[in-house]
């Protein structure tokens, strides 16, 4: 422990929601200039005292007044403007392990989009192609079909026999594909055309029945993701169909004044979109109207919604990531995260842990964040040599990013933490 005789003594009580790491919660006296690694050593010692079967040390993080301690306890308290006279309740949690580089998957051009499902990865490339990979980095298929860069890819459904996915391109079309898993063959089933400029983003609804697209024509379009046309096309349009191979949007949502940079489903009837016009719009799909509008500070390049914490994060052209709570009446920014030195191009929430998210930027950096540590990233994931255009989670411990250095990089954390 820090040996500075000048440091004040403070009373603390440690507690955790992770029962396997519980220790007696009697108050302890510690020096206020103690750092996180020393706190971790202290808790590990108490853990081994209370359970002699525990041999291995665990890396812990510590929460005090809702934020992870990233300095000494004294500095943390000073920043929060809190006195040290009362007994401090410090929560400890197992630290998310540092992700290490796992694979580097080469493409022939910039990697602009990535989506994952189970053991399978989809990537979209500026050479107009879509690719399927497995988690071990093996390349399964390169799929030509678009006539301009592919900017968005998304799985619709996937099982052991068949995968359905959609790709969106600057050629103004979205294509629904069917992948025969065992035969490793792919077929384009439906081409979706309603946008008048290049498609920038896609999102599939949770039930896999619809998808949304956003484009440079400032519009958001909603489409049926069904492979058959019978139920989805108004009777007057059926005559125009080219043997079920072409499809028009079910609905077009108009309201943005500049290009739509991202779309995400918040529930079966609600979509959020971000745009270069500095605005977030939350849409009611059934009524084709805007439920809520949130003004940003600069062009918003990406948006992510978490069903786990009901919060929105945005990536922006001013280097900042902002967290909003759409339930709050003022819709103001709750937290700002600043660590990138260039445009932040992509943000993605963890699908399993409500405080973790990834960001990727023009500074060639991918960063892993915890919302409880706004001033410091958890980890910086290095390796890309050019602008990073997309990032995603594959499972709790696999992080993926694609960049202008023609690579898709996979980072793996040693294990996924199960939080209580």
One domain, residues 292 and 388: yes
Is 1 part of any domain?
Answer: no
How confident is the model at residue 3, as a pLDDT? 47
One domain, residues 16 and 113: no
User: 28: domain range?
Assistant: 9-94
Is 417 part of any domain?
Answer: no
One domain, residues 265 and 303: yes
Binned at pLDDT 50, 70 and 90, residue 86 comes out as: confident
One domain, residues 132 and 268: yes
Strand partners, 13: 89
Is 255 part of any domain?
Answer: yes
Strand partners, 15: 91
Q: CB-based contacts of 272: which residues, under 8 Å, 6+ apart?
A: 263, 264, 266, 280, 281, 282, 283, 303, 305, 312, 326
Whether the per-residue pLDDT at 420 is higher than 70: the answer is no
Rounded mean pLDDT, 16-42: 93
Is 62 part of any domain?
Answer: yes
- Structure tokens given for 202: 């896609």
| Average confidence score pLDDT of the chain | 91
One domain, residues 45 and 171: no
Binned at pLDDT 50, 70 and 90, residue 239 comes out as: very low
Whether the per-residue pLDDT at 100 is higher than 90: the answer is yes
Alpha helices in 286-395 (DSSP H): none
Rounded mean pLDDT, 145-159: 97
Residue that wins the pLDDT comparison between 85 and 208: 208
Burial 331-368 (b: 16+ CB within 10 A, else e): beeebebebbeebbbbbbbbbebbbbbbbbbbbbbbbb
Q: CB-based contacts of 33: which residues, under 8 Å, 6+ apart?
A: 2, 4, 7, 72, 73, 74
| 183 Ramachandran zone, left/alpha/beta (phi>0; psi -120 to 50) | alpha
* Domain closes at, from 94, 127, 157: 94
Within 240-397, strands assigned E span 246-247, 251-253, 260-267, 270-275, 279-284, 289-295, 300-306, 311-316, 320-324, 333-338, 344-349, 356-361, 366-370, 379-381, 388-395
How confident is the model at residue 243, as a pLDDT? 44
Q: Give the number of domains in the chain.
A: 2
Whether the per-residue pLDDT at 152 is higher than 60: the answer is yes
How confident is the model at residue 51, as a pLDDT? 83
* Domain closes at, from 65, 94, 123: 94
**What CATH code is carried by the domain that includes residue 19?**
3.10.20.90
One domain, residues 104 and 154: yes
One domain, residues 186 and 321: yes
Whether the per-residue pLDDT at 84 is higher than 80: the answer is no
pLDDT digits (tens, 9 = 90+) for 63-80: 999 999 999 999 999 988
Is 418 part of any domain?
Answer: no
Whether the per-residue pLDDT at 219 is higher than 90: the answer is yes
* Domain closes at, from 94, 112, 138: 94
**What CATH code is carried by the domain that includes residue 228?**
2.130.10.10
Whether the per-residue pLDDT at 237 is higher than 80: the answer is no
Q: What percent of the chain has pLDDT over 90?
A: 82
Is 136 part of any domain?
Answer: yes
Task: Evaluate the CA torsion angle 343, 115, 131, 252 in order and state its sign.
Answer: negative
Rounded mean pLDDT, 86-107: 94
One domain, residues 147 and 83: no
One domain, residues 242 and 104: yes
One domain, residues 313 and 213: yes
One domain, residues 75 and 147: no
How confident is the model at residue 178, as a pLDDT? 97
How confident is the model at residue 232, as a pLDDT? 52
pLDDT digits (tens, 9 = 90+) for 289-331: 999 999 988 999 999 999 999 999 999 999 999 999 998 877 6
Task: Report the run of H or E that residue 63 belongs to, with start and end.
Answer: strand 60-64
Is 299 part of any domain?
Answer: yes
One domain, residues 287 and 184: yes
Within 86-216, strands assigned E span 88-94, 100-106, 111-117, 120-125, 130-134, 139-143, 150-158, 162-169, 173-180, 185-193, 199-204, 210-215
Whether the per-residue pLDDT at 248 is higher than 50: the answer is yes
Is 110 part of any domain?
Answer: yes
pLDDT digits (tens, 9 = 90+) for 345-400: 999 999 999 999 999 999 999 999 999 999 999 999 999 999 999 999 987 789 99
Distance CA 97, CA 128 (A): 36
- Structure tokens given for 124: 């979209």
């Amino acid at each position: 422990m820090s040996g500075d005789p000048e440091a004040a003594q403070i009373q603390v009580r440690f507690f955790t929601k992770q029962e396997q790491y519980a220790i007696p919660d009697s108050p302890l006296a510690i020096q206020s200039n103690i750092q996180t690694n020393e706190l971790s050593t202290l808790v590990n010692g108490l853990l081994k005292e209370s359970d002699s079967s525990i041999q291995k040390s665990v890396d812990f993080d510590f929460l005090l007044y809702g934020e992870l301690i990233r300095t000494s306890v004294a500095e943390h308290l000073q920043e929060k403007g809190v006195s040290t006279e009362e007994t401090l309740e410090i929560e400890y949690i197992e630290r998310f392990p540092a992700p290490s580089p796992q694979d580097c998957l080469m493409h022939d051009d910039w990697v602009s989009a990535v989506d994952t499902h189970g053991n399978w990865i989809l990537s979209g490339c500026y050479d107009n192609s879509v690719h399927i990979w497995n988690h071990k980095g093996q390349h399964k298929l390169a799929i030509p079909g678009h006539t301009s860069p592919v900017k968005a890819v998304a799985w619709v459904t996937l099982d052991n026999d068949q995968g359905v996915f959609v790709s969106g391109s600057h050629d103004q079309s979205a294509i629904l594909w069917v992948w025969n898993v065992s035969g490793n063959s792919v077929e384009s089933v439906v081409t979706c055309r309603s946008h008048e400029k290049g498609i920038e983003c896609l999102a599939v609804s949770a039930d896999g029945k619809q998808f949304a697209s956003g484009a440079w024509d400032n519009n958001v379009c909603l489409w049926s993701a069904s492979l058959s046309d019978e139920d989805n096309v108004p009777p007057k349009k059926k005559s125009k169909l080219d043997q079920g191979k072409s499809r028009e949007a079910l609905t077009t949502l108009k309201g943005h004044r500049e290009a739509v940079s991202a779309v995400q489903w918040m529930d079966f009837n609600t979509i959020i979109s971000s745009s270069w016009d500095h605005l977030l719009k939350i849409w009611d799909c059934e009524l084709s109207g805007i439920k809520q509008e949130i003004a940003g500070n600069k062009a918003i390049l990406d948006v992510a919604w978490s069903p786990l914490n009901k919060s929105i994060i945005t990536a922006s052209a001013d280097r900042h990531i902002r967290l909003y709570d759409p339930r709050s009446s003022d819709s103001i920014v709750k937290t700002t995260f600043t660590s990138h030195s260039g445009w932040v191009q992509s943000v993605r929430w963890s699908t399993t842990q409500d405080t973790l998210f990834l960001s990727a930027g023009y500074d060639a950096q991918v960063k892993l964040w915890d919302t409880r540590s706004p001033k410091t990233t958890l980890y910086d994931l290095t390796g890309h040599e050019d602008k990073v255009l997309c990032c995603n989670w594959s499972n709790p411990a696999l992080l993926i990013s694609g960049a202008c250095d023609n690579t898709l990089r996979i980072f793996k954390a040693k294990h996924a933490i199960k939080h209580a």
